[in-house]
Structure 1
C-alpha cells in the first residue's frame, strides 16, 4: 500500500483490503536481481543479518527486529513499515545490514537495494534479561512460528488455509506487508498489523505478541472474499509427525520417536476435553470434529521425556505446543485434522484448522478473533486425568503367535487428575464406544507404577474401513478423564 502520510489504523487497513478484494487479483512480480533470485539453499543460508543492525537495538525496549534476505524459495518479498504516531513509513534495509559468508562473493551484493525482504524475526529476553532470544518469525507466505521460555522451534501457524485437502487447487496466501509499532520501554507486548493477499480474498490481520513462559499472540483477522471458497481454514496449524509410540517406524532409526506434535487436543463448548493421537498414515487421512463454539483446539507435544526421543540435536522434547483459544462467537463448524503420509522428518505432514459452517461467498466479509498459546505447557489445570501415552500392537497373547490378524491391542495411559490419589483397588469404569465395524474382545484396567492407570483393549475389526475408537473413564457416574479418540485404519 506504500508509506502512509496520514495516521493509519487497523480499521483503515481493513477498509483498504476490502477495496482490494473488490478488484481483480494481481499476482506479485519478482523484481529480484538474478544473483539473488538464483541463490541455492546453501548460498541463501550464507547470508545472515548482522545482529548489531537490529531495529531498536540501541533503545531500552524489550524487542529487537532482524530481517531475512530474499532469494532461494523466497522470491515473493514482503515490506516492513514502521510507525510513528500512527504514521507508517517503509523501512528499507541496506545491503550492509547483512553479512555474506563463503562461498558467496560479498562484492556482488554490496550495491544491491533490498526493497523487500523474505520476512523478519522479533527477539526478546525470554530466558534471561541480558540476552535477546528469538521470539517469533514471520517467513514465507503467511507462515509464522513462536517460542515460549525453554522451547525450540517446531510447528508453525499460518494466516489462513484455502482449499487444503480438497479437489480444488490449494492457495497459499501471503503477508505482503507488515505495519509495526516501535516498542516503548514499558511495553510488554509488540503490535503488528499485516495485509494478506491471495487470489480468492484479501485480509487484514492484527497481532499482539506477548512473550513469556507461554507466549501469547492475540489475533484478529478480517477477511474479504473476492470469490466463493470451497474450504476456508481459520487459525491453521502445520506440524510434523514421522513416527511415535503408537505407530512403529519401518525405518532403521535409533530414535524411539520423531515428531513436533503428538496429538490434537480439543475442548468442546461443554468443557469435555478430547485427545486424538497423531498418525503417519499410508494414505491421506482426514478427520472431522463437529463443534459449536469450541473453547480451544491445538496441536500439542505432550511427551516431554528426552529418553523417548534420544535426539540431542533436534530436541523434540522441547518443541512447543500451540493452542488456539477462540474469542467471541465462532458459531458452528468443524475442527479438521489432515494427516499426510511422509517418509521424512523434514516434511510437515500434519494440518489442523477451523472450518466455519457458513459458506464463504464473494463479497461477504468475515472476522475471527483468537488467542494463540505457544509453550511447553499450554493447557489449563484440570481435575481430569489426561492421556499420557498410546501404545498399539498386535492382538492375541504376546507369548504366542497371533492367529487373528484382524485384531489389535491398544494400551492407553491416563495420568493426573483426582484418580491419581485413588487406591489400587478403586472401582473405575471405562466407557468404550465402538462403531458397528468393530467389536471388543477383552479389556482390563490396571495401575501404573507412577500412579496413573492403564486401560488395555483388544479390538477386532470386521472390514477394511477406518475404525473410530472413543474411550473415557468414569467413577460413581462422573467422568474422571478426558476422552481418547483414535482412528484405526487397515494399515495401522
Structure 2
C-alpha cells in the first residue's frame, strides 16, 4: 500500500505551509515495560485542572540549529519515507510527524496509547531527510526534544493507498478531509478574545496521546495558554464525510473577555458579490462561500461570506443552537477555473453541538484581504455569560468535514448565488448610497411552482431601507431570483435578511447579509 499526500496549495500560512514537509511510513520504537503508564481522559483532565491553578510558564523555544530556519530552509526538510509509526500495527493507520522550526519553535510531545498504556514517541534527525545546504548543518543521530505536530494517514480514497485524513500543527489548529477533498478551511481548539480589545490569545496543544481503534482514531490533547488550560478528546471517523466527536474541558487561570467555542477559519477573496474589485481571470476564489446556521427552531440561515473594506463582525444570537459551519456550496470546477488550487474540492465544515449549549451567539469575523494566502474568515460560538478566573467549562460537539451539499430535495429552497452591483435601473445613472443584491434560490417546493404563483419576498433591513424588490422565476429554469435595491446613509452598517413565502408558509432558507456603505 502506498501513501499519498493530498493536493495542497503551498501558499497558506501555518497549516498549509507546514504541509510542505511530505511525511511518510516507520515502526514504533519498542518501549520498556517501565516506560508504559496507564492513560485516561479523566486523569488528563484532572492534571490540566491542577495546572490551571499554577502560574503560566510558557514553553521555551529550543536553542538549536532549527531556530534559524526560514520558509525556504524549512521546505528542505522531509520525514523519511520509511519512518512512519504504526507500520507493524493490525490496521491501516500511520502517524507522521512535522519537524520543529520556522513558525513552530516550541516542542510538541507525542504519545502512543495502546491497550490503555502510554509510550512516548521519540524523534531524531534520523527520522528526517535534509536537502540542499541544510544537510551539512544537521547533526547525525541527534535527538529532538519534540516535533511541531503530526498527521494521520488512512485509506480514505482508495483501499490500496494511504491518504492524509487529519493533521494537528501550529497553536491549536487542526484540519481534516472527507473523501476526494483537498485542504481548505481549518479548525482550532479554542478562540480567546478574537478581534476585541487587546491582543488575541492563541493557546497551544503541547502534548498529544494518539490511539487506534479499528477504522477510527482517538486523539487526546493538552491545551496550554496564559489564560486557560484544557483537556481535549477527538474521536475521528474517516469517510466520505469525516466526523470528529470533540470534547473540550476548559479550566481558566484568568478572566476572558470573549470565549470562542469550536472556532473555524477559512479564506474568502471574491465571488459574485465583490468580483469587480479583483483583476483576476478566475470567477471565484475562496475556501468557503457561506456561513450556515440551523437555528433552535430548525430554520436554516445562509450568510454569504464577504471581503469587506473594513473589519466586519456579525453576531447571530440563539437560545439553543442546532448547528453552524463554514460551507463551500459552489462545487463546479468552472466556477473557479483553477486546476492547481482546486477550490471546488475544498471541504465544508459543520459544527453540531452535543447536548444543550444554552444561550449565546454565532460570531462571524470577516477581515479585509487582498491575497488568497490570508485566512480572513473566522466563525465560532460565543456562550452567554462572563468567564472568570477559576471557572471550568465543558463543551461537546461533532465536526463534519466533507462536501456536505445542500438538500435541494427537501421542503425549502436553498441559496445558490449572491450577486451585488450598482443600484437603480440599467442604462441610467446609478442610485447614490444604494446597492443592488440579486439572490437565487433552488429546489424545495418552490421549484415546482409556476411563475405566476402568489409569492412574496419577505425582507428585513436594519440600518437602511428597501428602495425596491422584484421576485421572478428565471427563464428555462426552476430557480427563483429576488432582486433588492437597498439604500443607507454613508458609513451605515446594514443588516439584511430575506426569504420567500407563499401559501402561508416559508418556502426558502433565510438569506442574511451585512453591507457597509463606504
- Once the two structures are TM-superposed, the CA of residue 426 in structure 1 deviates from its matched residue by 2.5
Matched residue, 2:285: 258
**Pick aligned residue for 2:46 from 4, 12, 15:** 15
Alpha-carbon distance, 1:376 to partner:
0.9
Q: Which residue of 2 aligns with 1:400?
A: 428
Render the CA deviation track for 1:383-441: whole Å, top value 9, x for unaligned. Answer: 21110010001111222232x22222111000111212223332222111122532332
1:56 aligns with 2:83: no
Asked if 1 retains the 8 angstrom alpha-carbon contact of 2:471 and 2:480, the reply is no
Cα drift, residue 293 of structure 1: 1.6
The structure 2 residue matched to 1:419, chosen from 443, 446, 457, is: 446
Per the alignment, residue 68 of structure 1 pairs with: 98
* Counterparts of 1:369 and 1:405, CA distance in 2: 48
Counterpart selection for 1:333 from 327, 342, 360:
360
Pair 1:31-2:46 in alignment: no
- Summarize the Cα distance change of 1:5–1:105 in structure 2 as closer, same or farther, 3 Å threshold: closer
Give the CA deviation at 1:348: 0.6
Q: Who is 1:386 aligned against?
A: 414
Structure 2 counterpart of 1:121: 151
CA displacement at 1:104 relative to structure 2: 2.2
Q: Partners in 1 of 2:380 and 2:288 — Cα distance?
A: 15
Q: Which runs of 5+ in 1 are unaligned?
A: none
CA offset at residue 7 of structure 1? Answer: 1.6
Structure 1 residue 54: deviation in Å? Answer: 0.9
Looking at structure 1, the residues matched to 145 and 78 of structure 2 have their Cα atoms a distance apart, in angstroms, of 17
Please report the RMSD computed on the Cα atoms of aligned residues, expressed in angstroms. Answer: 1.6
Give how far 1:463 is off: 4.5
SS in structure 1 at match of 2:275: coil
Contact map agreement 2:469 2:485 (CA 8 A) in 1: yes
- Given that 1:448 and 1:454 are in contact with CA atoms closer than 8 Å, whether structure 2 keeps it comes out as no
Q: 1:278 aligns with which of 273, 285, 305?
A: 305
State the distance in 2 between where 1:442 and 1:65 align: 56
> Is structure 2 residue 344 aligned with structure 1 residue 312?
no
Is 1:446 aligned with 2:503?
no
Give 2:190's aligned residue: 160
2: distance between equivalents of 1:68 and 1:448?
53
> Deviation at 1:109?
3.8
Choose which of 12, 31, 42 in structure 1 pairs with 2:72: 42
Asked if the contact 1:437/1:463 (under 8 Å) is kept, the reply is: no
CA distance in 2, matches of 1:428, 1:444: 8
**In structure 2, do the counterparts of structure 1 residues 130 and 377 end up closer, same or farther at CA, with 3 Å as the change threshold?**
same
1:97 maps to 2:124: no
TM-score w.r.t. the length of structure 1 is: 0.95
Deviations 1:11-42 (Å, cap 9, x if unpaired)? 00000000000110101011241x21111111
Is this contact kept in 2: 1:412–1:455, CA < 8 A?
yes
Match of 1:82 in 2: 112
In the other structure, the counterpart of 2:26 is none
Q: How many residues align?
A: 484
* 1:51 counterpart SS class: coil
> Would you say the 8 A contact 2:76–2:134 is kept in 1?
yes
